[in-house]
Amino acid sequence: MTGGNKVVAVVGMPGCGKSEVVRCFEEAGFSRVYFGDVVFDRMKEEGLEINERNEQMTREKLRAEHGMGVVAKRSLPKIESFLEKGNVVVESMYSWEEYLILKEKYGESFKVVAVYSSPGTRYERLGTRNVRPLNPDDARSRDYTQLANINTGGPIVMADFTLVNEGSLEELRERTKAFIKTMTTE
104: in domain? yes
CA distances from 43 to 14, 61, 124, 152 (A): 22, 11, 31, 23
What string of pLDDT tens digits covers the 186 residues of the chain?
445 899 999 999 999 999 999 999 999 999 999 999 999 999 999 999 988 788 888 988 999 999 999 999 999 999 999 999 999 999 999 999 999 999 999 999 999 999 999 999 999 999 998 877 889 998 998 899 889 888 899 999 999 999 999 999 999 999 999 999 988 876
105: in domain? yes
Reported pTM:
0.92
- CATH value at residue 157: 3.40.50.300
6: in domain? yes
Q: Lay out the sheet containing 161-164: strands in order across.
A: 31-34, 88-91, 7-11, 110-116, 161-164
15: in domain? yes
Cα angle 176-182-86, degrees, rounded to a multiple of 5: 85
**88: three-class secondary structure by DSSP:** strand
186: in domain? no
Domain membership of residue 137 as a residue range:
2-181
Total domains in the chain come to 1
Looking at the DSSP assignment, which residues form a beta bridge with residue 88?
7, 31
28: in domain? yes
